[in-house]
Structures are given as C-alpha cells and as structure tokens.
A and B are shown apart, each in its own frame.
Chain A
Amino acid sequence: MNAAVLRSWLRLFTVQAAWNYERMLGVGAARASEPRLRRLPGGPRGERFRAALARAAGYFNAHPYLVGLAVGALARAEHDGVTEDQVRRLRGALIGPLGSLGDRLIWAGALPALVAVGLVVAGMASPVVGAVTFFVAYNLVHLTLRTWGLAAGWRQGTGVARALTAAGLRAGLRVAGPVAGIAVGVALPVATDWIVADLGMGPRLGVGVVAALGIVLLRWVAPILGGLRFGLAAAFAALLLGWVWP
C-alpha cells in the first residue's frame, strides 16, 4: 500500500464527518479521493486535478463502508482520462447499488447478526467476552470490506460493476438476511432472560406482556412512533403509575 493509497484509506474512516443534506457524502468522498487525484497530469495545482476534485465533491451517497469502491473507481477513471460526462454517469450509477448493497449486507445483515452473537455470549459467559466477541468479529468484516472496496474500485475503474457481482458479495447477500433473522431470534429471549434473571415469575410475565404490547403498537398501531419514543412513553407511564400507586 503506497502513501497515497494509505491516506485515501485512512480518510475513508471519516467519510461521513461533513455529512450534509446538500451533497450528503460528497465532501467526505472528495477528501478521500484527493491523495490519488494529486497524481493526475499537472499535479495538485493543475486544471485536471481541480476539475476532478470538483466532480468528487458533488452530491454522492452510499453505504459508508463501500464508498471506497466508488472513490477507487472514480479516481481510476480520472487517471484513465475518460470524459467528464462518463465520470458523472459512473458516479450517479454507483449511488443506488452501493447504498442498497451495504444496507442489506451490513446494516440488515452482518451488524444485527454479530450484535446478536455478542448478546448471546454476554448472557451465557460474561458481558466483557460478549462485547469483545462482537467487536472483533464485526471489524473483521468491516475492515475487509473497506480495504477490498478501495482496491477493487481502483483495479476495475469504469468496469467497477464487475466488482459488485463478486462471488463473495453475492454469497454474503444470500445468507445475510436469514443469518441475521435466526441470530436475532435466538438473542432476544436469551438476552432478555439474562437481564431479568433477578426478577420473580410475576415481573417476568410482566416483561412478556409489555413486549407483546410493544410489538402490536410498533408493528400495527403506531409504527411511526419508533422504538426510542415508545420506550420514553412507556417509562413515563411507569413513573406515573409508580407515583400514583407506590
């Protein structure tokens, strides 16, 4: 890994730092692209560098772990001298797939699945072992994806769509949903049982009743409420009940 690639890779870890409603990840993506664009003919004071950086800072959105794929591919396209129009089209074409792929693979797959594993280990062994298990396992996936993305993007350039159909990604997409579903399903009773281990049978039944009410409310009655607001409302009701009926 040369210095420019290393700087680009490190900057990917702060790609969302300037997230905004105007250009979303554009500023962060430009910051991550900059080390590689500096080597364009004319150098960092040249017209090609400035034009490429301006394009890199435009509206862009994707899953943060997969931005490297776009950063690598777009930097390579600039180096290969493809037209401005082609770069813009490539950029636009990557937004949807990189967002959707990352959301399905990570936010709805690896993250909940490995959190669930961490919860089960915490409940059955110790919270420290559970937290460490989750942290190490998750970051193996996370760092592999970031590193692979940047390298694959640069390697493929305008043909980056080939990288999106890599066998590993396709296999990951196939298993991510089911594995997350099973893992979270196992973790819910195990973690809840661990948390309320000190309570008697009556309060435990109460936990089950509140959980069932929560599912009905959040799934069918008022899904717009969201978990946090439901939790705060439930706490308020419990506090009120506790004061009225101590």
Chain B
Amino acid sequence: MTLEMVWLVAWSTLVGLDLVSVAQVMIARPIVAGTVAGLIVGDPLAGGLVGAALELFALEVLPVGGARIPDYGQGAVAAAVTAAGAPRALGLGLAILVGLAVAYLAEVGIQSVRRANTRDVRRHQDELDRGDGRTIAALHCRGLVRDAVRAAVVAVAGLAIAGAASRWPPVSVGGAVLLTVVLVGAGAGVGATGAVQLTGRGLKLGWVVLGLVGGVAVVVLR
C-alpha cells in the first residue's frame, strides 16, 4: 500500500466519521471531501468537480432524526480517485457513478451500525436505568468504534471500486460521455428538487426562482 493510499483511507475514514458520529464539521460534504482527496492524488480540479457534482445530489438530503443518509462524502473521495488524471468529460460520469455506489454502500453501513447500537443499548437497559457511568461510557465508546470500523471498511471498499473502475472502465468513449451527461443532469435535477423541499411551496418557491434567474444571468454574462 502506497503512502498516498494510506492518506486516502485515513481521509475517507475521517470523512465517514464526520457524517454523523464525530464533530460534524462538514468535512463530509462532497465539495470538501472530494477537493481534499483530489489534492492527495494531485488533481484538485478533478476532486472539486466530482465533489461539486455529488454535492448537487447531497443538497436533497435532510439528515433529520433517524433518516437514511447516503454518505456522499466518502463517495466523493472514491470518485476523486476515479476521476484523477482522466479527461474531464470522459472520466466525470464514471467517477460520479463510483461516488453514488460508495454513498449507497455507506448508507447501508450506517443502518447496520445503528441497529448494532440499539441491540447494545437493549442489553444494558438495567445499568442505564441505574445511572451507571461506566456503562454509558462503554456504550458511547463502542458506538464510536463501530462507526470508525464502518467508515474504514467503506473507505477501503470505495478505493477498491475506484481502482477497478479506472483500470477496467465498463464503458466506451461515447458511453462515458453519455454517462457524464446523464449523471450531471440527474444531479442538477436532484439538487433542484432539494431546493424546492428546503424552501417549501407557494410564494416561498419564489426565492429559489429568484436565485435561479440570478444564477443563469451569471452563467450567461461570464
């Protein structure tokens, strides 16, 4: 394993932990996770681009209560590795696909960790009801370890998927461009739907429309 791989696994694990368990300083946002992964592999632009694309998908996620949360951050790390060094239009679609697959894998992992935490808490109901500080500390610590293991497994699996996708791309040149078009379009659609969910219906939707008009004007006038 190269030093670069060690850094990538460490970074992706930290990103996975940040999503829910530790800190939530938002290194788990794809724009941050992807850009830093891009810096590690020497292609920050590719990392930033896949981070931005996956960020469009992430705009739809409201991590309330026990909601299922795809980890687009760990997805962005794997996607940045896939996209690094590849021509933009050809590598981007495949990289976004890798990112989505890893985000799904991480989502499944988070559900397993939550179920394991629940079983652990059920086994120690009596100690919790007695206010046993040691049990509380141990449950807390085991929850952290479980999520760290989950994040590390997803990190290694994500990098393996990225490596395989870069070495044996499952698409032709035309197919790669098509994949880029479809997935960037899908991301834009998901992001727009997320924006509508954020603001609500009726007159409140006017704020999004106002922003869209401004954004299109920026694109046209640049």
A→B interface (CB under 8 Å): 13-14, 16-24, 26-28, 30-31, 34, 44, 49-57, 61, 64-65, 99, 103, 107-108, 111-112, 115, 118-120, 122-124, 126-128, 130-131, 134-135, 138-139, 142, 177-178, 180-199, 203, 206-215, 217-219, 226-228, 230-232, 234-235, 237-239, 241-243, 246
Decide: A231 and B190 in contact? CB cutoff 8 A. Answer: yes
Decide: A18 and B48 in contact? CB cutoff 8 A. Answer: no
Decide: A21 and B114 in contact? CB cutoff 8 A. Answer: yes
Q: Sample 10 A-B pairs with CB under 8 A, ordered by A number.
A: A14-B21, A17-B21, A22-B118, A119-B31, A131-B32, A134-B31, A142-B25, A177-B207, A210-B184, A230-B189
Decide: B189 and A213 in contact? CB cutoff 8 A. Answer: yes
Decide: B174 and A246 in contact? CB cutoff 8 A. Answer: yes
Decide: A228 and B103 in contact? CB cutoff 8 A. Answer: yes
B residues within 8 A CB of A107? 62-64
Cα distance A24–B192 in the bound complex, in angstroms: 31
9 more contacts with CB within 8 A, not counting A28-B140, A230-B189, are A119-B55, A177-B207, A185-B207, A188-B211, A230-B190, A231-B183, A231-B186, A238-B182, A246-B175
Decide: A54 and B29 in contact? CB cutoff 8 A. Answer: no
B109 contacts the other chain (CB 8 A)? no
User: Which one of A21, A103, A190 contacts B118 once the chains associate, using CB atoms below 8 Å?
Assistant: A21
Cα distance A120–B205 in the bound complex, in angstroms: 20
Number of chain B interface residues as a range: 35 or more
B65, closest chain A residue (CB)? A61
User: Which one of A127, A226, A228 contacts B49 once the chains associate, using CB atoms below 8 Å?
Assistant: A127
Cα distance A192–B56 in the bound complex, in angstroms: 9
Decide: A13 and B181 in contact? CB cutoff 8 A. Answer: no
Which secondary structure dominates chain A's binding surface? helix
Cα distance A193–B115 in the bound complex, in angstroms: 41
User: Which one of A18, A185, A246 contacts B215 once the chains associate, using CB atoms below 8 Å?
Assistant: A185
Given A27-B139, A127-B44, A182-B214, residue A111 in contact with residue B89 (CB < 8 A): no
A27, closest chain B residue (CB)? B139
A13–chain B nearest beta-carbon distance, Å: 5
User: Which one of B35, B139, B184 contacts A131 once the chains associate, using CB atoms below 8 Å?
Assistant: B35
B188 contacts the other chain (CB 8 A)? yes
Residue among B49, B147, B178, B211 with max Cβ neighbours from chain A (10 Å)? B211
Decide: A127 and B51 in contact? CB cutoff 8 A. Answer: yes
Decide: A186 and B214 in contact? CB cutoff 8 A. Answer: yes
| A-B pairs, 7 with minimum CB distance | A185-B211, A127-B48, A214-B189, A242-B175, A210-B185, A181-B207, A18-B143
Cα distance A199–B177 in the bound complex, in angstroms: 9
B72–chain A nearest beta-carbon distance, Å: 8
B residues within 8 A CB of A44? 133
Cα distance A214–B57 in the bound complex, in angstroms: 11
A residues within 8 A CB of B188? 188, 192, 207-208, 210-211, 214
Decide: A186 and B35 in contact? CB cutoff 8 A. Answer: no
Given A54-B128, A242-B171, residue A214 in contact with residue B198 (CB < 8 A): no
